[in-house]
């Protein structure tokens, strides 16, 4: 295919967009919802930019019908959203709050009425605060409580929703929440990172079992990772080994047991000083290794690493926020370097070749497992002009480049079934508060008015035709 020809996607390719509950819902104390770790973290002075919280966010809890109409206008084929655990099961234990479940029932029904496939993520980082008070993800009981929660939601929505994701990016929950402390709950405990990672993996295994017990046979269950595309700064053996170490921590600590039934030996050697891994019980790896129907993959940018360069300060441009505490357990001296190229407003390099690299990796690693891009997008400084429009050519160019990369991977044999653009709406961007805009729909956070950006209209055209134009 020449570059001046449009790229045609498979006719059944799923075109969607994605959000997360705490980032958009608001209604933080309504209808029985209790605080999650992100409510607590956001209200802790100095943790989130400008003291922003998700108390109101995009007010999607009250405006979901308008938001679905907007999705329909944009021709989305699917919408990936997460369930707020503390809205459904406020203490993380016991019976569900029906008002919470009714919100998600109504949302799913509204999507189906518009011909939009609902895709549920059960956990997108917002652990009920009561479970964190009992120890959080470093405690095995949290995984057991998660399985009960998964069964509750599966029973309530299994007749409406056929696409289920157990966890979103467990790396961020464990390494950023319990290692660097830049995400909720803000702890900085190296061994807790490994315990949390393991119990998130156990939660996935138990969650798949719980969902299988209540969902129809045709339901599809998967998990979403944010695999590192880790590149050594040079081809020296030391830099190559640094890349191996970081790949073990960001990717293989999850893909090893989930996809292959065991933790990598090199990971356990690398982290031996931080933990003896006594939290790993006999049978756990088999429990985690449940059959799944698809793998969700999130991609934003590649990572460049090196062995220690000998400077007084370790360079850690890892893209995961600033902290005095390294999340990289056992590999704290590995250095991270800013790659050359255009940057997004997050300071992340724009490099679609990493998308191809990631997809071809999993094409080889799990050749019979369908793949979805469950998140991909970019933050830019978008503004509404005098005419009330938002022109965002940089985002259109970003999406064009990354969709071309997805198509290239499909041509190379990757079984990619769909693409979920991150994100539908400008929203609460975690520790960055409302200072970063990832949406293809602009949200005025004072009035909550929605304004589709030029990128939304562009993406709608691609989704409607199934064709990526030759140029953006």
Catalogue the active-site residues: 169, 375
State the helix-helix crossing angle for 393-411 and 353-365, rounded to 10 degrees.
Answer: 30
Phi, psi of 88 (to 5 degrees): -90, -40
How is residue 176 annotated by DSSP?
A: I
Helix (H) or strand (E) holding 166: strand 163-168
In this structure, the number of other CB atoms found within 10 A of the CB of residue 197 comes to 28
> Going by DSSP bridges, is the β-strand pair 441-443/78-82 parallel, antiparallel, or unpaired?
unpaired
- In whole angstroms, give the CA distance from residue 118 to residue 161: 6
Give dist(CA 41, CA 126) in Å, integer: 10
| 391-406 CB burial, b ≥16 within 10 A, e <16 | ebebbbbbbbebbbbb
What are the two backbone dihedrals, phi and then psi, of residue 106, each rounded to the nearest 5 degrees?
-65, -40
Structure tokens at 18: 């994605």
Measured at the CA of 404, the angle between CA 401 and CA 406, to 5 degrees, comes to 115
Q: Distance between CA atoms of 97 and 102, rounded to whole angstroms?
A: 9
Q: Name the token pair of 216.
A: 């129809």
Residue where the block lists tokens 């660097």: 180
- State the alpha helices, DSSP H only, in 54-169: 60-73, 85-88, 98-113, 129-133, 140-157
Q: Within 13 A of 72's CA, how many CA atoms are on the CB side? A: 12
Cβ atoms of residues 93 and 86 within 8 Å = no
Burial of 91 (0-12, 13-18, 19+ CB in 10 A): middle
Give, for 225, the enclosing helix (H) or strand (E).
Answer: strand 220-225
Q: Which two tokens stand for residue 192?
A: 């807790």
- Burial readout 148-164 (b: 16 or more C-beta within 10 A, e: otherwise): bbbbbbbbbbbeebbbb
Question: For residues 395 and 389, what is the distance between their CA atoms, to the nearest angstrom?
Answer: 15
C-alpha span between 24 and 58 (Å, rounded): 5
Rounded distance between C-alpha atoms, residue 205 and residue 100, angstroms: 25
Q: Are 294 and 220 in contact (CB under 8 A)?
A: yes
């Amino acid at each position: 295919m020449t570059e001046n020809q449009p790229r045609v996607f498979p006719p059944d390719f799923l075109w969607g967009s994605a959000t997360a509950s705490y980032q958009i819902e608001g209604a933080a104390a309504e209808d029985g919802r209790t605080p999650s770790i992100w409510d607590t973290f956001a209200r802790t002075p100095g943790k989130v930019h400008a003291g922003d919280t998700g108390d109101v966010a995009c007010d999607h809890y009250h405006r979901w019908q308008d938001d679905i109409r907007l999705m329909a206008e944009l021709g989305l084929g699917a919408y990936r959203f997460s369930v707020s655990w503390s809205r459904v099961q406020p203490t993380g234990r016991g019976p569900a709050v029906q008002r919470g479940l009714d919100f998600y029932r109504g949302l799913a029904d509204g999507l189906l009425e518009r011909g939009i496939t609902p895709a549920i993520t059960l956990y997108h980082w917002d652990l009920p605060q009561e479970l964190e008070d009992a120890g959080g993800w470093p405690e095995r009981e949290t995984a057991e409580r998660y399985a009960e929660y998964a069964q509750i939601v599966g029973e309530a929505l299994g007749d409406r929703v056929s696409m289920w994701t157990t966890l979103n990016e467990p790396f961020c929950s464990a390494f950023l929440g319990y290692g660097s402390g830049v995400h909720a709950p803000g702890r900085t405990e190296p061994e807790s990172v490994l315990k949390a990672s393991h119990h998130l993996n156990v939660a996935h295994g138990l969650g798949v079992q719980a969902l299988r017990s209540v969902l129809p046979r045709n339901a599809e269950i998967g998990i979403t990772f944010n695999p590192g595309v880790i590149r050594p700064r040079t081809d020296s053996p030391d830099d190559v080994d640094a890349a191996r170490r970081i790949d073990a921590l960001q990717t293989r600590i999850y893909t090893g047991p989930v996809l292959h039934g065991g933790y990598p030996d090199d990971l356990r050697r690398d982290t031996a000083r931080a933990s003896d891994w006594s939290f790993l019980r006999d049978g756990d790896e088999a429990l985690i290794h449940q059959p799944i129907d698809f793998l969700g993959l999130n991609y934003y940018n590649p990572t460049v690493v090196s062995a220690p360069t000998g400077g007084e300060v370790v360079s850690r441009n890892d893209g995961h926020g600033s902290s005095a505490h390294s999340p990289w357990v056992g590999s704290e001296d590995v250095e991270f370097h800013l790659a050359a190229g255009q940057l997004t407003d997050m300071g992340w390099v724009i490099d679609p070749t990493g998308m191809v690299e990631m997809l071809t990796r999993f094409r080889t690693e799990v050749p019979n497992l369908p793949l979805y891009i469950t998140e991909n997008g970019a933050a830019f400084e978008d503004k509404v002009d005098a005419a009330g429009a938002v022109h965002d050519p940089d985002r259109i160019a970003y999406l064009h480049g990354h969709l071309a990369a997805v198509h290239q991977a499909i041509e190379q044999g990757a079984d990619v079934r769909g693409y979920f653009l991150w994100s539908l709406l400008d929203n609460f961007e975690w520790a960055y508060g409302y200072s970063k805009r990832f949406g293809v729909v602009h949200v005025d956070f004072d009035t909550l008015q929605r304004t589709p950006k030029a990128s939304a209209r562009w993406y709608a055209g691609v989704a409607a035709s199934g064709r990526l134009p030759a140029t953006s």
